[in-house]
Amino acid sequence: MGAAVLWGMVAAASLVIGALFGVWRSWPEKLTGAVLAFGAGSLISAVSYDLVREGAMLDGGPGVAGGLAVGALAYFTADRMLERWGSRHRTGPSAGTGAGPALALGAFLDGIPEQAVLGIGLASGEGVSIALLAAIFVSNLPEAIGSSAQMRSNGRPASAILRLWIAIALVCAAATVGGYLVADVASSRLKAAIDGFAAGALLVMLIDSMIPEAARKSGLVAGLFTTLGFATAAFLSATG
């Protein structure tokens, strides 16, 4: 249990570190876009190598497919609700707009199952998956930096942004402990569905928010930074 708490906090800490960087100073728009593009590439790698592949190895496909559908619909529905809530409670010319809240929602919806998988691995005696831990870190940092910088530029107070990301990090860390506790009763299909859920939420978030925002802010170099992010995460996964 102690190991699950420790590694859960280590993995989730990247969200708070990224948020601190995001609110620390005003980031040039092109740099923010490049960070988002790098994060998008690393998340594509995480979907491919650390979630879908691992889930398919556990269950052969059905569990992952079901999880993908549920995760995609969960993010889509929650994002639409967030947009409607933001439009009704807008207090300034830009408050509630932009990709910042959507990226935070994506980090929340994919962070819980990702870290639950980390806890399941610990309980199963597999030890810490360095590849998964690295993928969580590499993807969380630019996701949190980009989201926090976007919300800061839209007029959100730095203290409110940090409270949001601390809350997300705490819930994600708790998911590692939850995964550890349910590992003995979780079937291979359920574990595969957890992987699929994270992958489905990530894919919708990437296409709806992260990639368009990265391309808009950084322009033609977005593709290069996306490739760099993918290559970095894929290397960490292959060598982990």
For the beta carbon of residue 159, count every other beta carbon within 10 angstroms. Answer: 9
Give the pLDDT of residue 236.
79
Domain segments of the chain as ranges: 2-12+40-217+230-239
Burial of 74 (0-12, 13-18, 19+ CB in 10 A): middle
The pLDDT of residue 88 is 57
Look at residue 98 in the predicted model and tell me its pLDDT: 57
Record the pTM.
0.79
The span from the CA of 133 to the CA of 233, in Å, is 11
How far from 218 is each of 46, 120, 144, 226, CA to CA, in Å? 22, 38, 17, 11
pLDDT at 93: 41
What is the model's pLDDT at position 210? Answer: 85
For the record, the structure tokens of 47 come out as: 């979907």
- For each successive 10 residues of the chain (240 residues), what is the average pLDDT? 83 90 84 88 85 83 90 89 67 51 82 82 69 72 84 86 92 89 82 87 88 90 94 80
* Confidence at residue 42, expressed as pLDDT on a 0 to 100 scale: 86
Closest by CA position to 94, among listed 38, 24, 156: 156
CA 54 vs. chain centroid, Å, equals: 17
